A and B are shown apart, each in its own frame.
Chain A
């Protein structure tokens, strides 16, 4: 993790612990976009994500005085977000609404998106928006724990070590969950490619 960001977080946390509400606001503004991506890709629902994020920051605000700094604020706030989301998903059960189906249309104009889909691959052959939809469905078929790992590794770009700290599991567990999740996603998308109308 970027050391400068870590130092900046430490200063903000120290001020927040002394009762500086403005410092905590800065942390909220800083981490909301990143945590939104994490929670949203685990819940696949905007309203749930919004409520969860509000609860995550409310919990963090109450607990900030007890934050000892054994881990970075980054790891700490991500742990709160992941654990609260996993608890929420357990309560919600398998019910979910695929608001991720309504993928932002601007993605398809994005440079990285175009580059990613320009090469010779099954992606180019399939209808892209349909493929995205299938990928989202495949994601939601994963268990909550596997989806969390996939979200953090593939979507958020976190290293294995960071994920293991956030989930409080070994790096080996993270790798094995990732391997299993990749196989499941691969099987699901291959099936879609062979039977596109299914």
Chain B
């Protein structure tokens, strides 16, 4: 008869413990209980935490090691980024042009000028088109204020008649 428990006897006794089981039906209900707890926990959590956790899970799915396992893709992305950044920084600036004077528009003093002998009918400029500015007159062969204008084009620089 053995007077002491040896390792083998203890091992046998301990192995019997694997037959200890939970109440009947426990494993069948475990999954339902798991789903119920998951739903309850989800309802307890604020929206921002759910969003945060999902974002964190999403980001954590992309580790550096995962990215480096696709060297061609990473290289392509880096090259594209470099090209785009170069194009952005090397976009030509529009040339700066010095402007001497702003064109002065000739605007009639009033829409209905006075009918005097000093300003004959021939000098009236009809507003059928946009007014020409004074620089356009410089394109003609004569300088000075045209006296006769037909269809917005000066036709005569002769002085007006005076009686």
Closest Cβ of chain B to A91, distance in Å, is 20
In the bound complex, what is the Cα–Cα distance between A94 and B31 (angstroms)?
Answer: 30
Chain A 24-53 per-residue mask, 1 if CB under 8 angstroms from chain B, else 0: 010011001100110011000010011001
Main secondary structure of the interface of B (DSSP, over half): helix
B31, A121: Cβ atoms closer than 8 Å: no
Given contacts A28-B31, A40-B20, A65-B61, A131 and B1 within 8 Å (CB-CB) = no
Q: Say if the beta carbon of A62 comes within 8 Å of chain B.
A: yes
Closest Cβ of chain B to A34, distance in Å, is 10
Given contacts A66-B57, A186-B4, A53 and B14 within 8 Å (CB-CB) = no
CB within 8 A of A190: which of B4, B17, B21? B4
CB within 8 A of A123: which of B9, B15, B34? B9
Q: Say if the beta carbon of B37 comes within 8 Å of chain A.
A: yes
Q: Which residue of B lies closest to A110 (CB)?
A: B19
Q: Please indicate the chain B residues that have their CB under 8 angstroms from the CB of A189 in the complex.
A: 5, 10
In the bound complex, what is the Cα–Cα distance between A113 and B9 (angstroms)?
Answer: 12
Q: Please indicate the chain A residues that have their CB under 8 angstroms from the CB of B63 in the complex.
A: 68
Closest Cβ of chain B to A125, distance in Å, is 8
Given contacts A58-B34, A58-B37, A120 and B22 within 8 Å (CB-CB) = no
Q: Which residues of B (46-94) have their CB < 8 Å from a CB of A?
A: 53, 57, 60-61, 63
Closest Cβ of chain B to A118, distance in Å, is 11
| One of A7-15, A75-83, A148-156, A162-170 contacting the partner | A148-156
Chain A 130-171 per-residue mask, 1 if CB under 8 angstroms from chain B, else 0: 011001000000000000001000111100000000000000
Q: Which residues of A (103-132) have their CB < 8 Å from a CB of B?
A: 103-104, 106-107, 110, 112-113, 116, 120-123, 125, 131-132
Closest Cβ of chain A to B133, distance in Å, is 70
A121, B57: Cβ atoms closer than 8 Å: no
B9, A107: Cβ atoms closer than 8 Å: no
Q: Please indicate the chain B residues that have their CB under 8 angstroms from the CB of A33 in the complex.
A: 27
Q: Which residue of A lies closest to B28 (CB)?
A: A29
In the bound complex, what is the Cα–Cα distance between A110 and B17 (angstroms)?
Answer: 12
Q: Which residue of A lies closest to B36 (CB)?
A: A54
Closest Cβ of chain A to B85, distance in Å, is 33
Closest Cβ of chain A to B37, distance in Å, is 6
A154, B14: Cβ atoms closer than 8 Å: yes
In the bound complex, what is the Cα–Cα distance between A135 and B13 (angstroms)?
Answer: 8
A155, B61: Cβ atoms closer than 8 Å: no
Given contacts A29-B31, A189-B10, A156 and B18 within 8 Å (CB-CB) = yes
Closest Cβ of chain B to A55, distance in Å, is 9
Q: Which residue of B lies closest to A29 (CB)?
A: B31
CB within 8 A of A120: which of B2, B26, B57, B60? B2
Interface residues in chain A, defined as those with a beta carbon under 8 Å from any beta carbon in chain B: 25, 28-29, 32-33, 36-37, 40-41, 46, 49-50, 53-54, 57-58, 61-62, 65-66, 68, 100, 103-104, 106-107, 110, 112-113, 116, 120-123, 125, 131-132, 135, 150, 154-157, 182, 185-186, 189-190, 193
Given contacts A37-B18, A110-B19, A155-B15, 14 further A-B contacts (CB under 8 A): A29-B27, A50-B22, A50-B26, A54-B33, A66-B57, A68-B63, A104-B20, A120-B2, A122-B4, A122-B5, A125-B1, A135-B14, A157-B15, A190-B4
